[in-house]
Amino acid sequence: MKVENSFSKILYIDLSKMKFSVEERYDLFSKYLGGTGVATQLLKENCKEGADPLSEDNALILAVSPFAGVFPLASKTVAMFKSPLTGDLGESHAGGRSAVAIRSTGYGAIVITGKSSSPVYISIHNGKVRFRNAYTLWGMRSCFQAGAIIRERESGSGIRAIMRIGKSGENGVAYSAVTTETYRHFGRLGMGAVMGSKNLKALVVSGKNSIPLADKKLYREVYNEIYDAAVKSDVMKKYHDIGTSGNVLSLQKIGALPTRNLQEGKFENAKEIDGVHIAEHYLGRRVACAHCPVGCIHIANIREPHPNEPYFYKTAQVSYDYELLFALGSMLGIGDEKGMLKLIDEVEAYCLDAMSTGVVLAWATEMFEKGLINKDHLNGIELKWGDAETYEKAVEYIVEQPNDFYKALAKGVAHASKIYGGEDFALAFGKNEMPGYHTGPGCHIGYAIGTRHSHLCNAGYSLDQKMIVDGTKETPQSIVDSLMKEEKWRQILSSLNLCFFARGIYTMDVIKRGLKSVGFDLTEEEINSIGEQVYAEKYSFKFREGFSFADQKWPKRIFETKSPSIEFDSKFMDEALAYAEKKIRELL
């Protein structure tokens, strides 16, 4: 087999017709590498202009690349769709075994369009596609159970990915996620709801195709360099020891830990919910994505006694990262780590995005506290900072949507605050709920102009940190310039399915030689130019679907609660937006 044939076949699945076809699209891979680059084009081609995100006109793309199954840490499948949360570009990355499985089953990308008339799941083993009835899985409370049932029925143990939605996706929650391999997620922008709207419960993929190489000697050389950097150097240490969850105390120290809906930047119980404390008392296991020796997935064991029977316990295994500890911890004022872990488990069972759920609930709590909504809105419960048990109930109501208020919450905090007020403290950027960093203007501008809303790391946080440490003063323009430069580079990383944790390993030189070993002889200029084109293409999709810089509003709260970096106001931020728009339009 030719090297390019091993990654350039695209599987098209039409759920309305229950048909599939395969097409060779080397044209896309030769121009955009794979992952984000190829997915953007496939989304443009297959999502109808102006499509309702929860209709058959939306398309769901999963794309891998010439690096998947080839190099370590090239583990992140890129998903693209029109987002039901923001109404424009939805991009989400997830690891687990998905990227290796899709590549090894023989495809470079999978395009899913249409809508099934009844619940189905799709299985793809060694390239062969089957539609399976998923009627009996629909409405199941926990997506862990649905995964376990599919696991029993399908082949490919050890090499398969089981990407499934939970009840939140079935019920159209605009920030419902897709879970793969129990602990990894296509999170944030509502991919779960997109699958749910297509009556697609899950996608199972496995395969063991051989993957040819263009230059074996160079391949071995580059492979060992990457592998050694991942396991022997300190580059990855912060991700595998305590993991990102150690950020709780780092951010607490500088006063950038969003607490109680960002009314404060410090949390009195930060120590209890920090990664060190959780690792010492609850960490039960660490696991890894396929082909990643780092193993950054941290799993806590929580043991709970049965309420009525003595000596009868159940133990749950809950994965945690910084973002969950912020969103379902400090943001909700929950300092009791066990309660927080139980809440995380609940959110995971429903397959909701943890960040959006936490931010939505934080806003609702403040609304209730201020008397802007009452118990009737909340379906009889009283939200209170720190009350993890009541938050568990609220999570259930977001999924079940028993009244108009919860229906609004299920569409995101930007939507809900438009109806019920409280927009000044509705912490969303471009309709997407904030991640856990209040470090300064850099991170907030990054949330607003980033093209990967699913991802939090947009380099804004490190720009803020630099200002804190060095005392330098960035301008709105210099912040935008830095963010755009980094963002263009990160299009290359995600077009090659690289985990952003590995960005310190995958330098331009490593990528260039790696590409050569799989048949892409590109110069640095050519690689950079692909990054810029992909960046521009993503914005062109956003504009096509109605994104407008004029609609971007800053929640006042980010100016009211002091951040550790430089002072900034709405004028500073608006200037940044205007400059970003000008620079982006120049690229189109």
Partner 1 sequence: MRLKVIDSQRCVGCQSCMFACSRRFGQAGLANTCMNVVSAGGMSKGFKVIVCRACKEPPCAKACPVDALLVNPKGGVKLKSELCVGCKNCIDACILGAIQWNEETAKPLACIQCGFCIKYCPHHVLELVEH
Between 1 and 419, name the residue whose CB sits nearer to partner 1. 1
> How many CA atoms lie less than 13 Å away from 84 in the CB half-sphere?
31
375 is a contact residue toward partner 1 (CB under 8 A): no
Q: Check residue 238 for interaction with partner 1 (CB under 8 A).
A: no
Among 44, 132, 151, 271, binds partner 1 (CB under 8 A): 151
Among 55, 250, 263, 317, binds partner 1 (CB under 8 A): 317
User: Which residues between 82 and 101 bind partner 1 (CB under 8 A)?
Assistant: 100
155 in contact with partner 1 (CB under 8 A): no
CB 457 within 8 A of CB 443: no
Question: CB under 8 A: which stretch of 155-163, 431-439, 519-527, 558-566 binds partner 1?
Answer: 155-163
Q: Quick one: which H or E segment has residue 21?
A: strand 19-24
499 forms part of the interface with partner 1 (CB under 8 A): no
CA distance 547 to 492: 23
Phi and psi (nearest 5°) for 83? -80, 130
Specify burial of residue 115 (Cβ count, 10 A radius: 0-12, 13-18, 19+).
Answer: middle
Instruction: Name the strands in the sheet holding 313-320, side by side, starting at the edge strand that comes first in the sequence.
Output: 283-287, 297-305, 313-320
Q: Does 29 bind partner 1 (CB under 8 A)?
A: no
Nearer to partner 1, 171 or 206 (CB): 206
Q: Are 170 and 87 in contact (CB under 8 A)?
A: no
CB 461 within 8 A of CB 488: no
Q: Is 104 in the site for partner 1 (CB under 8 A)?
A: yes
The bridge status of strand 120-125 relative to strand 200-206 is parallel
Q: Residues 118, 158, 310, 588: which binds partner 1 (CB under 8 A)? A: 158
Nearer to partner 1, 180 or 252 (CB): 180
**H or E stretch covering 503:** none
**Residue 181 Cβ, how far from partner 1 at the closest point, in Å?**
5
Name the residue nearer to partner 1 (CB basis): 7 or 121: 7
For 311-324, letters b (16+ CB in 10 Å) and e give: eeeeebebbbbbbb
* Residue number with CB closer to partner 1 (350 or 559): 350
Polymer length in residues for the chain:
588
Contact between 318 and 325 under an 8 Å Cβ cutoff? The reply is: no
- Minimum gap (Å) between residue 170 Cβ and partner 1: 21
| 259 is an interface residue for partner 1 by CB under 8 A | no
Output 71 or 385, the one with its CB closest to partner 1: 71
Q: Which is nearer to partner 1, 110 or 292 (CB)?
A: 292
Among 108-116, 294-302, 459-467, 526-534, which window interacts with partner 1 (CB under 8 A)?
A: 294-302
Shortest Å distance, C-beta 216 to partner 1: 5
DSSP assignments along 401-419, one per residue? --SHHHHHHTT-HHHHHHH
Q: Quick one: which of 20, 50, 47, 45 has its CA closest to 32?
A: 45
Query: Scanning residues 170 to 229, which ones bind partner 1 (CB under 8 A)?
Result: 181-183, 207-213, 216, 219-220, 223, 227
Minimal distance, residue 300 CB to partner 1, in Å: 11
Q: Which helix (H) or strand (E) holds 224?
A: helix 216-232
Q: Show the site string, 34-73: x = touches partner 1 by CB under 8 A, - = not.
A: -----------------------------------xx-x-
Q: Which of 103, 97, 101, 94 is nearest to 76 (CA)?
A: 94
- Residue 19, both tokens: 């048909």
In the complex with partner 1, the residue whose CB is nearer, 12 or 223, is 223
* CA-only gyration radius of the chain, Å: 22
CA dihedral 251, 257, 488, 11 (to 10 degrees): 110
Residue in the block written with tokens 């071995």: 220
Nearer to partner 1 among residue 232 and residue 571 (C-beta): 232
Pick from 54, 143, 290, 343: which binds partner 1 (CB under 8 A)?
290
Whether 10 and 107 have beta carbons less than 8 Å apart is answered as yes
Cβ proximity to partner 1, 76 vs 542, nearer residue: 76
In the complex with partner 1, which residue's Cβ is closer, 226 or 484? 226
Tell me 48's DSSP state: P
What three-state secondary structure class fits 190?
A: coil
> Rule CB under 8 A: is residue 233 a binding residue for partner 1?
no
| 570 contacts partner 1 (rule: CB under 8 A) | no
Token couple for 33: 């590498």
Q: Can you spell out the DSSP letters for 134-150?
A: -GGGTT-S-HHHHHHHH
Residue carrying the six token digits 């076949």? 9
138 lies in the site for partner 1, by CB under 8 A: no
Q: Quick check: 130 binds partner 1 (CB under 8 A)? A: no
Smaller CB distance to partner 1: residue 156 or 329? 156
Nearer to partner 1, 288 or 381 (CB): 288
Told to check if 505 binds partner 1 by CB under 8 A, we report no
Report in angstroms how near the CB of residue 185 gets to partner 1 at its nearest.
13
The distance of closest approach from Cβ of residue 460 to partner 1 in the complex, given in angstroms and rounded to an integer, is 31
DSSP codes, 433-464: E--S--S-HHHHHHHHH-S-TT---SSHHHHH
* 243 near partner 1, rule: CB under 8 A: no
Q: Tell me which stretch binds partner 1 (CB under 8 A): 143-151, 360-368, 397-405, 470-478.
A: 143-151
User: Is the Cβ of residue 17 or residue 220 nearer to partner 1 in the bound state?
Assistant: 220
Which positions ≥6 away from 427 have C-beta within 8 Å? Answer: 258, 261, 262, 359, 362, 363, 413, 433, 434, 555, 557, 558
271 binds partner 1 (CB under 8 A): no
**Token duo for residue 350:** 């429903």
* Binding-site member from 15, 292, 395, 505 for partner 1 (CB under 8 A): 292
Tell me which of 25, 82, 103, 542 binds partner 1, using CB under 8 A: 103
Residues near partner 1, by CB under 8 A: 69-70, 72, 100, 103-104, 126, 144, 147-148, 151, 157-159, 181-183, 207-213, 216, 219-220, 223, 227, 230-231, 285-295, 299, 317
